[in-house]
Chain A
Amino acid sequence: MAQIPNLDNAPINLASLREQSQRELITILKNIRGKKCLVIDPNLSGSLSLIVQTAVLKEHGVELRHLSAEPLETECTKVVYLVRGQLDLMKHISLHIHDNASKGLQRECFLYFVPRRSVSCEQILKEEKVHDSLTIGEYPLYMVLMDEDVISFELECAYKECLVDSDTSSLWHIAKAIHKLESSFGLIPNVRAKGKASLRVADILERVQTEEPVNVSDVLPEISTLILLDREVDMVTPMCSQLTYEGLLDEVLHVNNGSVELDASIMGVQQEGRKVKVPLNSSDKLFKEIRDLNFEVVVQVLRQKATSMKQDYADITTTTQTVSELKDFVKKLNSLPEMTRHINLAQHLSTFTSKPSFLGRLDMEHTIVESESYDICFEYIEEMIHKQEPLISVLRLLVLLSVTNSGLPKKHYDYLRRELLHSYGFEHMATLNNLEKAGLFRKQEMRSNWLTVKRALHLVVEDTDTANPNDIAYVFSGYAPLSIRLIQQAIRSGWRPIEEILKLLPGPHSESKRGGLSRGSSFELLSGVSNNVDKAAVGRRSIVLVVFIGGVTFAEISALRFLSSQELAAYDIVVATTKVVNGQALLDPFVEKLT
């Protein structure tokens, strides 16, 4: 199965966006005649694999390489570098060019920045005296389509960069990407934002609109509402362990660009030490059916399917069948590889979920979210540190505890910081400092309002039925993600009814209408509470674009899919994010690395 997801069922024509990216890349390659060596930034290879197949690249005479500090080995006389604007990558390229010169190789070098040229990078190239020997261009890839309803801007460090390094260049990138969407699908009339970064993106978006306006009167806007949400507003959710199938796959195996890589033995192939790549997207029908379910249910569904298939098989062998019945049976058999694949994956996951340590951790997460028995949580974390459990998993719980209590009492804060330094080394002074700067682990300065928020938004739901869920809380077996509750409100009624609660969460909020008031108000009808007459009259569902600045988890995406699949929902949701993340990926950039 192809790793490139099928986009035919997307609520808006995302396939055209991908074709555009594909075309732009091919044009770049076509303009350079003959055989060429394409050297890519290793961090881009995932994105590229979602845009174009390697076979297509080969057709255009491309030899593929990853960029590294090592000298380049190739027969080609033309070298094309495709990189993000990062300073260390410029150093590699300079090294290559100096290496060419010293070996007397005649190579023509092209450099394409993704998504745009960067002054500081070109400065480095000038300092290294290689700027003149390069032909420089841009490959404007602002977003990658992960699936029929998920867009990623591929900015994995955006969260940390904004909060710790005060580097807001990612916000410009996001606004530009949204603008690009608008030029395909029309100006989005309703904008709702929460959080500092979100408001800035909304601002930049306005500015870009005045500079290169999207024609308002041209087409009916396909997207009715844009919701911008900072990750900072809800750091509780990503710190919890995800319990949906896709979420759990990510927690355990790290889903990367819509696929996981794992030992072949797990997939039932007997080949020592070989890795296999398993694509995970909605082109796989079975996966589409079970990805958003709570993992407990997934196991049941798979078991049921297996049993029914066995039953069919028994029927075939014992009774005589008509040809058409046989045909049906063979059709069912076609889904067998998908079945085996997911049964293998699920089996692998359950070796983790059945561990007492996993269950203990879940229990602790729930205790913290419910804000009960602070002392027990504190002691649990203390013991984790003493046992020197992996730093990131300790930090996840610690951040959860700190955020829900708006910091820890000074005595505990200093004590745990000291224990952390003693157990993991003093270099983590920098880690602690990063976390403090981002407000993730800090000293308590005021009373926590988590309890108020939790109650007002009904975040903890008792008696969650994971098999037949009636609320988004099923994704965390009883905890409804704060971020999604906010979005639920924003879609249904805007911010006004929950203003008091929004004030308790970090960052300002805003709500605005664009593209002329008269137009705006008629769209309000579309985006408002479901209205059957309206729906029938217009004949299509309205579309909401939700942008997570700083990352979103699979569990949250599942919860959003759940919302739009509800009977009363008259909208489809498209999720855009700086990156699909989990707690570990989010905290990783904060950890000081000794290199």
Chain B
Amino acid sequence: LLWRESWDYGKNPMASKGTPLHGPRIKLIEKARDLFAETKEQIFESKAAEEHAKLLRMQHELEVSTKQAIFVDSSISDTIRTCIVLGNHRAAMKVKTEFKVSEKRWYWLKVFALATIRDWDALEKF
């Protein structure tokens, strides 16, 4: 029952996609995280919810600093790619370390992103 309740919480913010009210949405996800954390079996779900909340916060900040509403609701990988495409390598790095993105995945993302903007020089160096 507890699980079901937390699941509803987890689902809710997804349904309300596109609402500009990020504050309440993040709170909901955090509540879901806490509920998931109450049973031992749901550690994975709890952690995922925590990361989700963290990601939304970072994406929000990125949108404010770049003044482009293209980050929220994209995945971590997409966020990193967008950062590199925009030439904001520092932000990309930050997302990488924040979410402990493995080197393997990082390389793929960087290669794809650099290829998108046809930055062959950087690709060569890298």
Contacts and interface: CB of A to CB of B under 8 A. Distances in A.
A422 B44 contact: no
Interface in A367-391: 382-383, 385-388
Interface in B56-110: 73-78, 99, 101, 104-105, 108-109
Contacts of A388: 77-78, 112
B14 interface: yes
A430 B75 contact: no
Nearest to B75: A425
Contact of B73 (A386, A422, A425, A430): A425
B99 A422 contact: yes
Contacts of B101: 422
B121 to A, nearest CB: 23
A426 B46 CA distance: 12
B75 A424 contact: yes
A419 interface: yes
A264 B92 CA distance: 44
Given A386-B105, A387-B108, A422-B101, A427 B14 contact: yes
Contacts of A417: 44, 48
A414 interface: yes
A72 B108 CA distance: 50
A418 B48 contact: yes
Contacts of B44: 414, 417-418
A425 B45 contact: no
Contact of A430 (B11, B104, B105): B11
Given A386-B105, A388-B77, A594-B17, A426 B48 contact: yes
A427 to B, nearest CB: 5
Given A425-B73, A426-B48, A419 B105 contact: yes
B34 interface: no
A594 B77 contact: no
Nearest to A417: B44
A501 interface: no
Given A418-B48, A594-B14, A426 B75 contact: yes
Contacts of A418: 44, 48
A108 to B, nearest CB: 38
B112 A423 contact: no
B109 to A, nearest CB: 8
Contacts of A423: 75-77, 105
A75 to B, nearest CB: 38
A422 B11 contact: no
Nearest to A419: B105
B52 interface: yes
Interface residues of A, number: 22
* A426, A433, A592 pick with most chain B CB within 10 angstroms: A426
Contacts of A427: 14
A421 interface: yes
Secondary structure type dominating chain B contacts: helix
Interface string A409-444: 000001001110111111101100100000000000
Interface size bracket, B side: 20 to 34
Interface in B17-61: 17, 44-45, 48-49, 51-52, 55
A386 B112 CA distance: 11
Contact of B10 (A414, A424, A429): A429
* B52, B75, B109 pick with most chain A CB within 10 angstroms: B75
* A382, A387, A422, A430 pick with most chain B CB within 10 angstroms: A422
A422 B77 contact: yes
Contacts of B52: 426
Interface string B107-123: 01100100000000000
Nearest to B106: A386
Nearest to B7: A433
B83 to A, nearest CB: 14
A422 B108 contact: no
Interface in A103-133: none
Given A422-B75, A422-B77, A592 B48 contact: no
* B10, B17, B76, B104 pick with most chain A CB within 10 angstroms: B76
B77 A430 contact: no
A426 B112 contact: no
B112 A387 contact: yes
A422 B10 contact: no
A387 B78 CA distance: 11
A386 B104 contact: yes
Contacts of B109: 386
A395 to B, nearest CB: 15
Given A382-B104, A383-B104, A592-B14, 15 more contacts: A386-B104, A387-B108, A388-B78, A417-B48, A419-B105, A422-B75, A422-B76, A422-B77, A423-B77, A425-B74, A426-B55, A430-B10, A430-B14, A594-B17, A594-B73
Interface of B: 7, 10-11, 14, 17, 44-45, 48-49, 51-52, 55, 73-78, 99, 101, 104-105, 108-109, 112
Nearest 9 pairs of A and B residues by beta carbon: A425-B75, A426-B52, A422-B76, A386-B105, A423-B77, A386-B108, A427-B14, A594-B17, A387-B108
27 contacts: A383-B104, A383-B108, A386-B104, A386-B105, A386-B109, A387-B108, A387-B112, A418-B44, A418-B48, A419-B105, A421-B48, A422-B75, A423-B75, A423-B77, A423-B105, A424-B75, A425-B73, A425-B74, A425-B78, A426-B48, A427-B14, A429-B45, A429-B48, A429-B49, A430-B10, A433-B7, A594-B14
